Homo-oligomer: A and B are copies of this chain.
Amino acid sequence: MSKQLLPLVEAEGCCAPLAAEPIGADEAAELAPLFKALGDPVRLRLLSLIASHEGGEACVCDLTGAFDLTAPTISHHLKVLRQAGLIGSERRGTWVYYWINPPLLERLSSLLGPARVLR
């Protein structure tokens, strides 16, 4: 996969945004469903399969083979990820293609992790 510049933010000491100040009820209500959508091993693996697929998107036909699950079950989990906004999708001819939503994943990452460094 090709290298590209990272969007870096200035370090703000030791702490993640979660630790910087108490998050508000509105932000918590907005973010909790995203973590809930990630709270399933099949969905985590689907997200990773999509994210790591060549070109940054994957056909549903690339995803089903990795699991000992029925197509409707896979589709259900993809729908949960899509409804949470963690992935996007588009039908092209026979197949539906999926891709991840990097800004949303980075927002969750930043919430949990230490501030990143501007170089």
Which residues does A use to contact B, with CB under 8 Å?
Answer: 1-4, 6-8, 11, 13-16, 18-25, 28-29, 31-45, 47-49, 51-52, 66, 100, 105-106, 108-117, 119
Contacts and interface: CB of A to CB of B under 8 A. Distances in A.
Contact of A40 (B18, B32, B47, B119): B32
A15 B1 contact: yes
Given A41-B29, A108-B112, A14 B3 contact: yes
Main secondary structure of the interface of A (DSSP, over half): helix
B1 A109 contact: no
A51 B37 CA distance: 23
Contacts of A40: 32, 36
